Chains A and B, each alone.
Chain A
Amino acid sequence: MESSNTIIIKGLYKRFPVGKGEFTALSDINLNFAQGEFTGLIGPSGSGKTTLLNILGSLDVPSAGEALVLGNSIGMLSAREAANLRKVSLGFIFQSYNLLAVHTVYENVEFPLLLLKLSATERHKMVMDALEWVGLTDKIKSKPPQLSGGQCQRVAIARAMVKKPSLVLADEPTANLDAANSHHILKTMETLNRELKTTFVFATHDDKVISYLRRKVFLLDGRIDKDEIIHPNS
């Protein structure tokens, strides 16, 4: 069964040094996420959801236990292997978009494909497809400062999705958006999840996001408080 899982987490701990002591951000986390899930890590600030998302994104490593992402044990990867995993298989969506301000919309979305060394023709097709998914084909020459918050987040989604990654990690993607834009963004991601079978893992405490999730993992003080699967007919 485990082989079909995109993410397998076993007895994961994450501790940070604080002064002379340690702060335990995550404690005994055990979770499996299957391919195509649309899942949220839900909890208040400081509950450990971003820390867990960072570990799943190979931006951080566990202090103990294991996190297997697409068959890669995060704690065992070298810097180059971790970078390669992010480059090929992961997509990130951030609360503050993290777009490259001096690049155009097109260049921002093209960036992950440049790292994959695809040809210009392939890149162009894939960028235009991604921008079509998020409805921004008319903004290819604009730069992020010329866009609204909602448009910026749609660019960020296009950038995360353009290489059709197996897993997208979204950290508070709607935190800076109004309700209308939030729903638009979430619907876009839901559609992409359904059509491309991409696994989405959110870190959020936004009710709007929570309402779209098909699985909710509640975190409290670094521990799993509740793991709730929403059945389609519920």
Chain B
Amino acid sequence: MKLALKLAYRNLMGAGLRTWLNVIVLSFSFVIIIWLKGVMTGWDHQAKTDMTNWEIGGGQYWQSNYDPYDPFTITDSHAPIPDELKKQEETGEIVPMLLLQGTIFPEGRMMPVTIRGVSPTQSFLHLPASKLDTGDGTISAIIGAQMAKHSHLKEGDYVTLRWRDANGTFDATDVLISSVFSTNVPSVDLGQIYIPLSTLQEFALLPDEATIITLKNAEESATDYPGWVYKSKKDLTRQVDEMIKTKSAGQTVIYAILLLLAMLAIFDTQVLSIFRRQKEIGTYVALGYTKQQVVGLFTVEGSMHALLAALLSAAYGMPFLAWQAKVGWTMPIDASEFGMAIAQTLYPVYSFGLVVSTVLIITITTAIVSYLPSRKIAKMNPTDALRGKLQ
């Protein structure tokens, strides 16, 4: 093996440009696959972090009728906040939120919204809820940047807000847009308008009631409160996991194409080598190699492309990947239109396992691709090979 490695190295170095072209193509595969996977991991981290910071905290209690995917449930999704949790509200450990269907009328047009009542004193969600407290009795509201864009509203605007109370009576008032915030979490932004919780409870005739109660810290074991269902952080981020899994599956096609291109180059080189180097193969046999050893030598030689590519990738890939992890990758199109928790700039995250698994996959694939054409050597007649007679 040591001899095969030594000879393979000499042969590869001797082949010059042909070797380096293959190595460069292969090293691109290394770096791009690691980078793409890193971006996916980074997105996963970012999406979960943003969701945690903006929406789900350490977990949530949902009123048992509440189904975020069924707007018909919202009308009946409210219940008094359990007494045990109320104590935590005072210490800022929970954020109750009441949800109500409503309508706004920006520039005289009608737009359906979900009205969310949130306490201006909440502090652990990134929502700038303190802006809801104007101090002068004005009913203020905050909206996300995408919502502002779609409704043509901006900070300082007044907009008419209409809702239906618990008795089914419609009512309306003008609210001041006191702040427009920017978030990567679309479910916090699109179609949502935030007003003070107490105001909404008053409007809806639902005093002390809420739809969602967000916990600051994750609970080790969920406490059961009648009429409330506990959703752990894992439950609430499952959708993100599944979405990323789907995206990763889609990206596998890209990896496969990249690998295929690199492997095609290696396969081609191997096939060409075996035809062009028949005399050399015959010489190895004449000097005392068995045909199987020559197959081994050619396989090692082909596989060594992966080794050289890994070294080359380390040389230029590591600084590139580190730089990317620092500055991130800014998507050329507006990410907010994607309808999922994705930042405009994604910061790749690389794990040791990711690098090792990528190197292993590429090396093993290269070894297989190198071995397949090399098997032909075993069928060669050494006397014909020595004369360079095409076989």
Contacts and interface: CB of A to CB of B under 8 A. Distances in A.
A54 B10 CA distance: 28
A80 to B, nearest CB: 6
Interface in A74-90: 79-80, 83-84, 86-88
Q: Which interface residue of B3, B280, B288 has the most chain A CB atoms within 10 A?
A: B288
Interface residues of A, number: 29
A137 B291 CA distance: 32
Contact of A59 (B290, B293, B383): B383
A87 B288 contact: yes
B286 A115 contact: no
Given A54-B383, A103-B14, A115-B3, A98 B283 contact: yes
A147 interface: no
Interface in B346-391: 382-383, 386, 388
Interface string A58-71: 01100000000000
B298 to A, nearest CB: 14
A59 B285 contact: yes
A59 B284 CA distance: 11
Q: Which interface residue of A79, A84, A117, A143 has the most chain B CB atoms within 10 A?
A: A79
A119 B360 CA distance: 33
A111 B292 CA distance: 18
Interface string A86-106: 111000101010111111000
Interface in B250-286: 279-280, 282-283, 285-286
A178 B192 CA distance: 93
Interface string B1-41: 00100110011011100000000000000000000000000
A143 B6 CA distance: 17
A112 interface: yes
A102 B13 CA distance: 8
Given A115-B289, A159-B287, 9 more contacts: A59-B382, A79-B292, A87-B288, A94-B386, A98-B280, A98-B386, A102-B11, A102-B14, A114-B3
The 3 closest A-B CB pairs, nearest first, are: A102-B14, A87-B288, A98-B283
Interface of B: 3, 6-7, 10-11, 13-15, 279-280, 282-283, 285-293, 382-383, 386, 388
